[in-house]
Amino acid sequence: MKFLLFPLFVLFSVATSAQILNAESLRKVTDTSGFSGSASLNFSLKRDVNEYYSFNTRIHLQYKMENHLILLKNDIEFKSISGNKFENAGITHLRYNYKFHPRIAWEVFGQAQYNKVSKIEFRGLAGMGPRFKLSTSENYKFYLGMHIMYEQEELSDGFTPIARDFRGTSYLSFSFVSNRNINYY
């Protein structure tokens, strides 16, 4: 069984395009239940020869309870100089895990994104699939996820048609926790 999973992972990896958001980086290692995370809000306004305006928010929340895990990432950024926008982007990612076996969880996720500079009017995706814990050690952990998702992308370039596709996405993650109060992810 283990030998069958690796070729499937490689097959899914080769057939898919790069992901913009690394969802594995959203996971916070905690040994307690409840909420954890961070939030920030920044605003600046500067006037000299030009008027510079900047606004961004960053929210990263995790809720963990028994076999349930919910992750939320929301980033919005807007920058303008004298009315000319040179940054206008946002991304929201929501992910739910249900661990129905000590080494297997089911993940469901959704994401919405826009980036005016990259001419992404809207990119939305929704997907699901299994997440396997490949190791049993508490000092190091390997996870493999293989998901299917539906993606819709609308560009504001004036000639690219709306893309609607089913895609595969997969990941292999590794984390190491040393006994000397040093963590590597």
pTM: 0.78
Res. 14 pLDDT band, cuts 50 70 90: very low
Amino acid 29: pLDDT: 64
Q: What is the pLDDT of residues 24-63, one digit of tens each?
A: 666 666 667 889 899 999 999 998 888 999 999 999 999 9
Cα separation values, 40 from 55, 61, 184, Å:
11, 12, 25
Res. 9 pLDDT band, cuts 50 70 90: very low
Amino acid 87: pLDDT: 84
Q: What is the pLDDT of residues 63-107, one digit of tens each?
A: 999 999 999 999 999 998 887 777 889 999 999 999 999 999 999
Q: Given CA atoms 151, 157, 158, 159 in this order, what sign does their dihedral have?
A: negative
Q: Could you tell me where the beta strands, DSSP code E, fall in the chain?
A: 34-47, 51-65, 68-81, 84-101, 104-115, 120-133, 140-155, 163-177, 183-184
Start-to-end CA span in the chain (Å) = 27
Q: What is the pLDDT of residues 110-160, one digit of tens each?
A: 999 999 888 999 999 999 999 999 988 877 889 999 999 999 999 999 899
Query: CA nearest 89: which of 65, 108, 69, 116?
Result: 116
Amino acid 18: pLDDT: 40
Distance, CA of 125 to CA of 122 (rounded, Å) = 10
Amino acid 17: pLDDT: 39
Q: Is 136 exposed, middle or buried (0-12, 13-18, 19+ CB in 10 A)?
A: exposed
Res. 19 pLDDT band, cuts 50 70 90: very low
